[in-house]
Amino acid sequence: MSVEDKQKPQRNDRVTIRTVATHAGVSVAAVSKVMRNAYGVSEALRAKVTDAIDVLGYRPSRAARGLRGQSFTIGVLLIDIRNPFLPEVIAGVNGVLAPSHYQAMIGVSDAQVQLETSLIESMIDYKMDGLILVAPRLPSEILAKFAVEIPIVAVGYHAAGATAFDTVNADDQRGAEIAVEALLARGYRDIEMLSLGEREGHAVSVVRQREIGFRRAMQRGGLGSSAPIGKIPIASPKREEAMRKFLSRKDRPRAVFCWSDLDAITLLSLAVEMGVRVPEDLAVIGYDNSSTAALGLVNLASIDQSGRELGQVATRALISRIEGRSAAEHILQIPSLVSRNSLAGSEATKQG
Amino acid sequence: MSVEDKQKPQRNDRVTIRTVATHAGVSVAAVSKVMRNAYGVSEALRAKVTDAIDVLGYRPSRAARGLRGQSFTIGVLLIDIRNPFLPEVIAGVNGVLAPSHYQAMIGVSDAQVQLETSLIESMIDYKMDGLILVAPRLPSEILAKFAVEIPIVAVGYHAAGATAFDTVNADDQRGAEIAVEALLARGYRDIEMLSLGEREGHAVSVVRQREIGFRRAMQRGGLGSSAPIGKIPIASPKREEAMRKFLSRKDRPRAVFCWSDLDAITLLSLAVEMGVRVPEDLAVIGYDNSSTAALGLVNLASIDQSGRELGQVATRALISRIEGRSAAEHILQIPSLVSRNSLAGSEATKQG
DNA sequence: CGTTATATGGAGAACGTTCTACAAATCATT
DNA sequence: AATGATTTGTAGAACGTTCTCCATATAACG
């Protein structure tokens, strides 16, 4: 009895638009108009309604909103939450969204195409207003298909030809070039890139772009014939194995460009462990300028692509798309080198 | 003209439950029953419906579902996306959720109470089925208020007295004790804790618990009278400043227990920079056993509280609550020490 | 004053589900 | 064969919004 009495009011006390309307002595439509500040409401009406809203603490139901109009939510899909680059992107997104009435909801796909698909579908089914996909793994045609249902901006996804959705990237080719140029400028000639295995990075991924840039810069430097690219698996036991093998190679190069700080930092760690001195025996450049790279202990030179800025730009692009733009935009930021100890000095000149 | 022709089909081609019903030649209610596998559907009906669903590629609208019943989504609120402890929790949550029909949507509050509130409200307004709040900053009474609207499990939030929501924690008092005991066992006596400033950690936060554990263990070790706790601000210029000041103190202790790896790692970096040897001059223990701590370069001893496991346990608790449990549960995991170089040997005996 | 334009408020149909209540059909039981 | 019990399927009202018409009230104008 008393239990029921306690349950009932809980259930019923949701303040809906109707409650507000009754309390303010106006129609539901009027309240809705005020909420969306649509045309045709007098100051008097607006005051009555906002008062009622304040008194009652009314919040519109996102679910109901989504069913009919906008939900004022944008979905963000992350391929992986462990990569320290991603949080930066989120920070950028949240920064731009904060002053607006939009909110971000994040899904994590863990690099599984299956999960990625179902998360995107869910976000569509929630009637979110737009999607920011960070380094998605799905092929461009599939994204294009989704893009007819919902505005999409892809970050870290090189599909400059896409007409159905926007892309925002740092120029990964250029980033790799900058890395190689820095090494060349310091006298290194014997340079190798450590990249991701074929299976883990598709054609439009940032990794492949960095490989292209690496090759081009090597070519320009007159080292076109020998621009070796090693592939490091992503999963844990094999990954360290491959790095150890690299470090103990007789013909190990004098300098290495890693596709990501994630790999570069582990490489640095293993190097210490194996007695390979950095930068004396081996110069290392990473990618992403993660916070770990900046640590005094690590001191890893790295290509900075400002994830935060990418997040900001992507968000602004998405909002403009939500607001009606239909021509695709493909934005490219220029990355820069952050030089640190792992690349120090010009001591590489002693090599042949 | 042709533009309109192209728009129309896009809008209209959403496959709804009605489309399925028509295609299968049954009623809408029947399809709904099949979807929820409710009682009272024959094999024949079920087959017809599932066939139609497959053919049409039907996906129920989450928005509509939320409006009426369950949305099969659980919301996860993260205080901060940069702390490497959080991704582990997410991994645990996703791991448990993957085989179920639930999905996680993540919100990031960036430690702002304002944003935290509005994210929780949004998740409620989306009619999510339950919430996992990781290290929320809101006071317990407010969470209790939210908990009448939606099942809540708080992680990293010590409110063992709460009756309206569950909590899942590692035993932070015990963790701090373990750290101190490890230091004592290695002969250190001159021990200090570096903690968070009052403003950044409320009474029920993990930080305060670790302070309690620290004091208790020191007391037990006969060092009760001198169990100093330094406070490090969280924001960046002041933070490093405080650490530098600590490192250059004349009466700097021989060992330090940091409330988080985040601080411990920065401290390690600054120590190298300032010529303070670790562990010879200063032993360091961190908290969280983050992946960075495990790097050969860093080699930081740390208390492991398995964020992944916390995420798993919290998710299971939440699901059981969604399914009807009403008595509050407060779960405590036991953390453990991961010993590494920053704590090496037993060389501390030379001190007075 | 009558007429037309404009500003303001409201009725009510969607949106895509769930779920209660009920009708119809089938099966058991006497 | 009649009655009751059970199984199977459906109608239709909710859920809380948005948004397109309409209806009225007021202002503008000749």
| Tens-place pLDDT, residues A139-164 | 999 999 999 999 999 999 999 999 99
Give residue A5's pLDDT band: very low, low, confident or very high (50, 70, 90): very low
Judge contact between B108 and B80, C-beta under 8 A: yes
d(CA A313, CA A169): 9
Per-residue pLDDT, B12: 52
Return the nearest residue to D20, CA–C1': A29
Q: Is B9 among the domain residues?
A: yes
Q: Evaluate if the CB of B52 falls below 7 Å from strand D.
A: no
Number of residues written out for chain B: 352
Q: Which of A67, A104, A296 sits opposite B67 (nearest CB)?
A: A67
Judge contact between B18 and B58, C-beta under 8 A: no
State whether residue A115 is helix, strand or coil: helix
Lowest mean pLDDT among A248-262, B10-24, B40-54, B267-281: B10-24
Q: Evaluate if the CB of B122 falls below 7 Å from strand C.
A: no
Nucleotide nearest to B127 in CA–C1' terms: D15
Residue A20 is encoded by which pair of tokens?
Answer: 């507000």
| Alpha helices by DSSP H, chain B | 2-12, 17-24, 28-35, 43-56, 62-68, 85-97, 113-125, 140-147, 172-185, 206-220, 236-248, 261-274, 291-294, 307-322
Number of residues written out for chain A: 352
Residues A96 and A163 in one domain: yes
How many structural domains comprise chain B? Answer: 3
Residues A279 and A214 in one domain: yes
Average pLDDT over chain A reads 91
Give residue A130's pLDDT band: very low, low, confident or very high (50, 70, 90): very high
The residues, ordered by sequence, that sit 6+ positions from A111 with a Cβ below 8 Å of its Cβ are: A79, A80, A137, A200
Summarised one tens digit per residue, pLDDT across range B54-86 is 999 999 999 999 999 889 999 999 998 888 889
Q: Is A163 among the domain residues?
A: yes
Residues 30-49 of B with CB under 7 A from strand D: 30, 32-33, 39-42, 44-45
- CATH number of the domain enclosing A302: 3.40.50.2300
Amino acid at B82: R
Amino acid at B76: V
DSSP string, A264-302: HHHHHHHHHHHT--TTTT-EEEEES--HHHHSTTT--EE
Q: Is A12 among the domain residues?
A: yes
d(CA B328, CA B253): 42
Residues B120 and B94 in one domain: yes
Residues of B in contact with A15 (CB under 8 A): none
Q: Is A66 among the domain residues?
A: no
Residues of B in contact with A106 (CB under 8 A): 105-108
Per-residue pLDDT, A9: 36
Per-residue pLDDT, A282: 96
Arithmetic mean of pLDDT, A285-293 = 95
Summarised one tens digit per residue, pLDDT across range B137-183 is 999 999 999 999 999 999 999 999 999 999 999 999 999 999 999 99
Residues A119 and A213 in one domain: no
Domain finish residue from B10, B34, B60: B60
| Any B CB within 8 A of A82 CB | yes
Residues A235 and A106 in one domain: no
Residues B77 and B162 in one domain: yes
Q: Evaluate if the CB of B8 falls below 7 Å from strand C.
A: no
d(CA B92, CA B134): 12
Q: Evaluate if the CB of B69 falls below 7 Å from strand C.
A: yes
d(CA B237, CA B68): 50
Return the nearest residue to D9, CA–C1': B30
Q: Is B65 among the domain residues?
A: no
Arithmetic mean of pLDDT, B85-90 = 92
Partner-chain contact B107 A104, CB within 8 Å: yes
Arithmetic mean of pLDDT, A184-199 = 93
Closest-CA residue of A relative to B6 is A148
Q: Is A258 among the domain residues?
A: yes
List chain D nucleotides near protein: any atom < 7 Å from a Cβ.
7-12, 14-20
Q: Is A65 among the domain residues?
A: no
Residues A318 and A342 in one domain: no
Percentage of chain A with pLDDT > 90?
82
| Any A CB within 8 A of B100 CB | no
Helix (H) or strand (E) holding B338: strand B336-338
Give residue A126's pLDDT band: very low, low, confident or very high (50, 70, 90): very high
Residues B204 and B317 in one domain: no
Q: Is B50 among the domain residues?
A: yes
Closest-CA residue of B relative to A101 is B118
Return the nearest residue to C9, CA–C1': A30
Residues A159 and A287 in one domain: no
The residues, ordered by sequence, that sit 6+ positions from B132 with a Cβ below 8 Å of its Cβ are: B74, B75, B76, B77, B93, B152, B153, B154, B155, B311, B314, B315, B318
List chain C nucleotides near protein: any atom < 7 Å from a Cβ.
7-12, 14-21
Give residue A345's pLDDT band: very low, low, confident or very high (50, 70, 90): low
Partner-chain contact A103 B121, CB within 8 Å: no
Q: Evaluate if the CB of B235 falls below 7 Å from strand D.
A: no
Residues B345 and B317 in one domain: no
- CATH number of the domain enclosing A46: 1.10.260.40
Pick the residue of B59, B71, B81 with the most A CBs within 10 A to test the interface with A by mutation: B81
Domain finish residue from B17, B34, B60: B60
Q: B168 has which bridge partners?
A: B155, B331
Q: Which single residue is written with the structure tokens 């106006």?
A: A26
Q: Evaluate if the CB of A24 falls below 7 Å from strand C.
A: no
Helix and strand counts by DSSP (H, E) for chain B: 14, 12
Domain that holds residue A181: 172-306+337-350
Q: How many CB pairs under 8 A join A and B?
A: 132
State whether residue A50 is helix, strand or coil: helix
Nucleotide nearest to B125 in CA–C1' terms: D16
Residues B289 and B216 in one domain: yes
Pick the residue of A16, A61, A62 with the most B CBs within 10 A to test the interface with B by mutation: A62
Residues B329 and B185 in one domain: no
